[in-house]
Amino acid sequence: MPELPEVETLRRSLEPTLLGASIDRVKVNRREVIVAPGDPPGGFSRHRGETTPTRLRAGDLLRGETVRQLRRHGKQLAIVGGTDHSLLIHLGMTGQMLVQRPKTRLPDHAHVVWSITTSSGPRRLLFRDPRRFGGLWVIRTTEDLERRWRRLGPDASVVRTPELVARLAATRRPLKAALLDQTVVAGLGNIYADESCHLAQIRPDRLTATLEPPEVDRLATSIRTVLKAATRLGGSTLRDYRDAQGRAGDATSRHAVYGRAGQPCPTCGCPLSTSVLAGRTTVWCDRCAQ
């Protein structure tokens, strides 16, 4: 689900509640959604059975901390505490961070629950994720957070043409595959990769090496435009995505190509084409895109 506009919407919706809030208690219902330093490799939901995760330390889930900052890079959201401990959140396909009043009934799949004190009184913050493709990374220093983010490409909402030119020239594969690679540019997923290609009028199956400089320039502009428009509408809710207050996003009805295979192209009216590229359903207009 969540691509950059959804994560940014979540970040903004969490800020009023979380900034300055103190974290009093943490309840972990599923240790597997957490990756801490020293845990076996493989990411979320992998260390199960034969491998044993390391023991969490006291401050690892921000217990006892005051929230100082909410930062985002690409699809990743960091809650930064007063001692530079961070909680790095990846929503995967169905992850949510929800704020509730205490004593509200907990939804299912609430894997981690924080009890917090905000300026408006006590609240609960919860990480919920039915499919468990998402999870939380324990980050112990700001340096670790920034080192991790440096391994990703530039944030897609502010990507500049020269950097995109360089990164697309450094790889040989279809454009769609490159745009989904978070080390090329961070924040695009299946929806906004297709939407960006459509706005830029470039076929997603073009090999990156064949792109002319004016095309990459159009692409960079289109990526920023598409993401800005979707963020303004609160992101896309296909099914699961919600902001911290449980609100759905409105960008879904604005998709020009995603989810519209076979329907008329909103630009030229000819039926939209579809195929599987980089393992993902891809939709484009054969007439508009070159």
Segment interacting with DNA, rule: CB under 7 A, options 10-18, 155-163, 185-193, 213-221:
185-193
Q: Is 242 a catalytic residue?
A: no
Catalytic site residue from 30, 132, 173, 280: 280
240 binds DNA (CB under 7 A): yes
136 close to 89: Cβ distance less than 8 angstroms = yes
The nearest distance, CB 247 to DNA, in angstroms, is: 12
Q: Is 75 a catalytic residue?
A: yes
Query: How many chain residues bind DNA (CB under 7 A)?
Result: 44
Residues 266, 287 contacting (CB under 8 angstroms): no
Query: CB of 64: closest distance to DNA in angstroms?
Result: 30
Task: Give exposure, 140-170, as e/b (b: 16+ Cβ within 10 Å).
Answer: beeebbeebbeebbbbbbebeeeebbebbee
Judged by CB under 7 A, the residue of 57, 120, 279, 286 near DNA is 279
Tell me how many degrees the CA angle 266-213-153 measures, rounded to the nearest 5: 85
What CA–CA distances, in Å, run from 243 to 164, 182, 227, 274? 30, 23, 17, 30
Separation CA 192–CA 175 (nearest Å):
13
Interface with DNA, residue 1, by CB under 7 A: yes
Burial of 248 (0-12, 13-18, 19+ CB in 10 A): middle
Q: How many residues does the chain have?
A: 290
CB of 223 to DNA, least distance (A): 14
| Under rule CB under 7 A, residue 210 binds DNA | no
In the complex, least distance from residue 146 CB atom to DNA, rounded to whole angstroms = 17
Q: From 21-29, 177-185, 216-224, 263-271, give the range in contact with DNA by CB under 7 A.
A: 177-185
Of the residues 101, 131, 160, 228, which one makes contact with DNA according to CB under 7 A = 131
Give the one residue of 19, 28, 56, 93 binding DNA; rule: CB under 7 A.
Answer: 93
Q: Compute the least distance from the CB of residue 95 to DNA, in Å.
A: 9
226 touches 196 (CB < 8 A): yes
Check if 103 is active-site: no
109: contact with DNA by CB under 7 A = yes
User: Do the beta carbons of residue 54 and residue 40 sit within 8 Å?
Assistant: no
Q: Between 27 and 280, whose beta carbon lies closer to DNA?
A: 280
Helix, strand, coil share (%) of the chain residues, nearest 5? 30, 25, 45
SS3 143: helix
> Among all residues, which ones are annotated catalytic?
2-3, 75, 280
Where do contacts with DNA occur on this chain (CB under 7 A)?
1-3, 6, 41-43, 45-46, 48, 74-75, 90, 92-93, 108-109, 130-133, 170-174, 177, 180, 182, 189-191, 235-241, 249, 278-281
